[in-house]
Chain A
């Protein structure tokens, strides 16, 4: 089999399936052979092929220091993701990748880090969080602002206490709607800014979530004084080939799959929010 052709999915065994929420799960995929998989960078994605159904781009959500197992956190929202939902440990999935650009973890050393995630947008950011915590002393304040629809939709909540306690991360969580059993914050993610400590002049922001949420988050960050070039967003469009051939994911002069999905906001701001793009 030709393993060098990026268009050919490689069969991978599913090691484990983690049920994260009512509609979201994580597929832990291992190589077919005993060889360790090549490493990935935080923010990159794989194309997952559910045989007989199709292929979808899914961000890698696991720890980049443990490249022998790739975690893919997936929300059941379409034909292919539904087919992926039905897979279980021992089944095989087609994998191409990793593809795309990465969060600027190394480049952000010496700065405060502000991470803003919405919904399943926390999944592509989790590898960056792991990488930041791996060399915690290289960064100033680390802030995680996370918004979701309801309490039941929150991802990776068990890890929050460790991030807070062991690494001093300022983790703030909010949900859009809640019942009386919820004692946390209610409201949109941008309402979490008051009270968090970071120096806007020396901060790098990383944002992933629905585009409308990112738009408001960018505005808020700019109001606080973070420059466009220090704000990174991850974009989503209809990715097919994942190597910049097919043009499905063109975004202005860029291809999301090849030039992104992580972009400095300064690079894409002229096209951000334009309906036709």
Chain B
């Protein structure tokens, strides 16, 4: 039977990961598929997974009361989706929906959380890879907040 190991091992996020850790992560991974329009998770639900988008496009949405849903960010091939599984109270803060047919690898965050508690070296390794991704996302969110195109600029 084909395993996900080669796919996971060659992803930049897991590059050069120690073999035993890689095996552990592969054990927590599975393939998933979402049709266009299908919700991957919804705000407030328990967050026990994260995803690597293999192919397709996912949008993160917010639906403020009395307003139409607002698309905040899209994720495409190779990008990491979801970090609420890592932060108490482990609930999704936004909705995620497939914009088009999307194939992804999902990881059991609950399982990984426990492994991190048991093996701090593994926890450090995983977090040191996740934090830069979070930093990039935070930087992008701040840039969006600046509303740079709304101010005077070159014509």
Chain B, interface residues (CB within 8 Å), range = 20 to 34
Determine the distance from Cα of A178 to Cα of B105 in the docked complex, in whole angstroms. Answer: 26
From A74, A148, A186, A261, give the contact of B59 (CB < 8 A): A186
Which among A56, A187, A210 is the interface contact of B151 at CB below 8 angstroms?
A210
A127 at interface (Cβ–Cβ under 8 A)?
no
Check if B72 sits within 8 Å of A209, measured CB to CB: no
Stretch in A3-11, A105-113, A156-164, A188-196 touching the partner = A188-196
Mask, A26-69, CB within 8 Å of B = 1, is 00000000000000000000000000000011110000000000
Size category of the binding interface on chain A: 35 or more
Known contacts A74-B155, A194-B78: A183-B100 contact under CB 8 Å: yes
**Binary interface encoding of chain B residues 121-155 relative to chain A, with 1 for a CB under 8 A from any of its CBs, else 0:** 00000000000000000011001101111111111
- What residues of B have a CB within 8 angstroms of the CB of A71 in the complex? none
Which residues of B line the A interface, CB within 8 A?
A: 57, 59-61, 68-74, 76-79, 99-100, 139-140, 143-144, 146-155
If the complex has contacts A59-B155, A236-B153, are A210 and B71 also in contact, measured as CB distance less than 8 A? Answer: no
**What would be 17 A-B contacts, judged by CB atoms less than 8 Å apart?**
A59-B155, A124-B155, A149-B149, A176-B144, A176-B149, A177-B71, A180-B71, A186-B72, A187-B74, A188-B143, A188-B144, A195-B77, A209-B149, A211-B153, A212-B143, A213-B143, A213-B149
Please tell me if the beta carbons of A210 and B140 are within 8 angstroms of each other in the complex: no
With the chains together, A180 CA to B62 CA distance in Å?
Answer: 11
Cβ contact within 8 Å between B76 and A121: no
In the docked arrangement, what's the CA distance between A206 and B70, Å?
Answer: 31
Report which residue of B57, B139, B150 has the largest number of chain A beta carbons within 10 angstroms of its beta carbon: B150
- List residues of chain A with CB within 8 A of the CB of B147: 149, 176
**Cβ contacts A199-237/B at 8 Å (1 or 0 each):** 000000000111111001000000000000000001110
A73 vs B61: C-alpha distance when bound (angstroms) = 33
Contacts of B69 in A (CB 8 A): 179-180
Chain B hits for A216, CB < 8 A:
139, 143
A110 CB, nearest partner CB in chain B, Å = 28
Instruction: Report chain B residues within 8 Å CB of A126.
Output: none
The answer to whether B154 touches A234, judged by C-beta atoms less than 8 angstroms apart, is yes
Question: For A194, what are the chain B residues with a Cβ–Cβ distance below 8 Å?
Answer: 76-79
Closest to B99 in A: A183
Q: Please indicate the chain B residues that have their CB under 8 angstroms from the CB of A123 in the complex.
A: 155
User: Which B residues are CB-close (under 8 A) to A244?
Assistant: none
CA–CA, A187 and B79, complex, Å: 13
